[in-house]
Chain A
Amino acid sequence: MNRREFIQGTTALSLTAMLPNAARAQAVFAPKPGAWRTVDLVTKLEIAKPDGKMQAWIPLPSVNETEWSRPGETKWTGNAAKVERVRDPKYGAEMLHVMWKDDEFMPAIEVTSRVATRDRAIDLSKPGKAAPLSDAERKLNLQGTELIPVDGIVKQTSDKIVTEAKATTDIEKARAIYEWVVENTVRTASTRGCGTGDIASMLKTGNLGGKCADLNALYVGLARAAGLPARDVYGLRVLPSQFGYKSLGAGSANVTKAQHCRAEVFLDGFGWVPVDPADVRKVMLEEPPANLPITDAKVVAARKALFGAWEGNWIAYNTAHDVALPNGKHPKLGFLMYPQAERASLLLDCLDPDNFRYALMAKEATAT
């Protein structure tokens, strides 16, 4: 620990010690399954400067999990020549494929998806009766992807983490990797979008900075390399955090830039366990007053919870990697979390929503 960190840490501890009980009680982050929250997500997309062949692919909430995610109806309006709901054959990621006529003056579509979501928390004190993974699911969630190899430096790193932690059981391995990612990565504010998730490059260069698609992909790769089925879950923050964490919730109804990728690891007896080391680093960087030390009470609370729980103020699109856009001649996408569109056979920059012209708005419909 360097002197600055040490000072930050001790200052935080001293301040925490002086806080009244009410203030300290704010450092609570404890999602528990409770009421479902229903959200209407509206994606508005226009293609600026229309030219040549124009089509778009809009991700739809398509993770259907009895305990925490129930996608509902999707409706759309606009001037497209053809709209069809399509499904990625490997992962089941759904998207709306939209095509316009070549001479369409102002290509536009508005898509409204209803989805119900709620908090998750797995009791990790003892295995339950979760159904085992099928062989096909286990295989899918153990294999490498284009950007998440599970051999080479990823395997070496994973082995070293597990060995140094003296982890022998699956849950010990999963937790050791979680703690390692929390302690050794950093959230980089300047990373575009959510990052790219090129984890071999991260490990080879030693640059372990990035955002959720980098940090949680690193968790997934290291876990898979340790023999634990794991997956990224790509989605969107749609509501404020009910635990008062500004950094872990939507700041307003405009969620155009609120994409967030989480992770899950499958543990026998427990099922899919939510994991989000990237959000621990986000709390450290962004939670007011910002640049919190790892010893800060808010960080400690988030770190404790985010291995085994996550808050249902977020909706899941899919768990897909290496996604081919139907009827497009583009290379596969590392993941599908942003709207995509093509003009004159060129993909638009999905990380530039102002010039691309798309907006995402979320509104809570009902609380049940």
Chain B
Amino acid sequence: MRIALTAAFFAGLIYLPAASASSLLRPWVGETPPSFSLDDLRGTPRDLQAFKGNVVLLHFFATWCEPCVREISSLRRLTEIARDKPLKIVAIDVAEVDLRVRAFFEKLPVNFPVLLDRDRAVTKAWQVSALPSTVVLAPDLTPRLFIEGDLDWSRPDVLATIATLYPAAARRAEPITVQTINNPRGETTR
């Protein structure tokens, strides 16, 4: 009842109930925010420019955020599924103590870099105001897609959407069997 009331209350606002947010990859609107360099969990500076040439998922999260924690396993699946693709996940922890984030990933190791936005400077520059949020960048690092809320990144329709951003050579190698949002019954398409 609470959720229904809340949704009704917000009708007409930009409010997105969690359930609908999880299926919404929107086109990025606006300028490309400035590039950045952030420390990873070992304290080594990592520059966004180093990921150029890949589709990049810039994933903003925090360890206290339950949907974020849920989403991490789907991001891990995505790296497995797309291991031969020019795809990189760059996770950005927002404003948490280094030791807390390190301890978290010691228990839940991931196969992508985790960077620390200690003072929220990058989060603000990228206009992120809700966690989790993910910006999908084209190989030239221009933002193309954006989602506020969690998403199953291993969903076929999501994989197909990401695949449209791969460089031409990688796109040709895409498997042809995908299920799209417009094909809910999962019929084979081309």
The answer on a CB contact under 8 Å between B100 and A205 is: no
Total A residues in contact with B, Cβ cutoff 8 Å: 38
Least CB distance from B103 to A in Å reads 7
- B17 interface residue, CB < 8 Å from A? yes
Q: Which residues of A contact B155 (CB under 8 A)?
A: none
- A200 interface residue, CB < 8 Å from B? yes
- With A204-B15, A204-B16 known to touch, is A183 a contact of B64 (CB < 8 Å)? no
- A145 interface residue, CB < 8 Å from B? no
The answer on a CB contact under 8 Å between B13 and A156 is: yes
Report the bound CA distance from A181 to B105 in whole Å. 34
The answer on a CB contact under 8 Å between B5 and A207 is: no
The answer on a CB contact under 8 Å between A348 and B99 is: yes
The answer on a CB contact under 8 Å between A208 and B119 is: no
Report the bound CA distance from A160 to B12 in whole Å. 10
- B143 interface residue, CB < 8 Å from A? no
Q: How many A-B residue pairs have CB under 8 A?
A: 85
Chain B residue nearest to A186 (CB atoms) is B2
- B80 interface residue, CB < 8 Å from A? no
The size class of the interface chain B forms with chain A is: 20 to 34
Option from B103, B120, B130 in Cβ contact (under 8 Å) with A205: B130
- B53 interface residue, CB < 8 Å from A? no
Least CB distance from A147 to B in Å reads 9
The answer on a CB contact under 8 Å between A2 and B15 is: no
Q: Which residues of B contact A200 (CB under 8 A)?
A: 129-130
What is the 8 Å Cβ interface bit string for chain B, positions 62-97, against chain A (1 contact, 0 not)?
101011000000000000000000000000000101
The answer on a CB contact under 8 Å between A196 and B64 is: yes
Option from B14, B67, B98, B120 in Cβ contact (under 8 Å) with A346: B98
The answer on a CB contact under 8 Å between A206 and B15 is: yes
The answer on a CB contact under 8 Å between B149 and A349 is: no
The answer on a CB contact under 8 Å between A331 and B1 is: no
The answer on a CB contact under 8 Å between A330 and B15 is: no
The answer on a CB contact under 8 Å between B14 and A153 is: yes
- With A183-B5, A191-B64 known to touch, is A160 a contact of B13 (CB < 8 Å)? yes
The answer on a CB contact under 8 Å between B1 and A1 is: yes
Q: Which residues of A contact B62 (CB under 8 A)?
A: 196
Least CB distance from B69 to A in Å reads 10
The answer on a CB contact under 8 Å between A204 and B148 is: yes
Q: Across chains A and B, which 6 residue pairs bring their CB atoms closest together, nearest first?
A: A331-B119, A204-B130, A349-B100, A201-B130, A347-B97, A206-B17
A-B contact pairs, 16 of them (CB 8 A): A2-B1, A157-B13, A160-B9, A184-B5, A190-B66, A191-B64, A192-B64, A198-B131, A203-B15, A204-B15, A205-B21, A206-B15, A206-B18, A332-B119, A346-B98, A349-B103
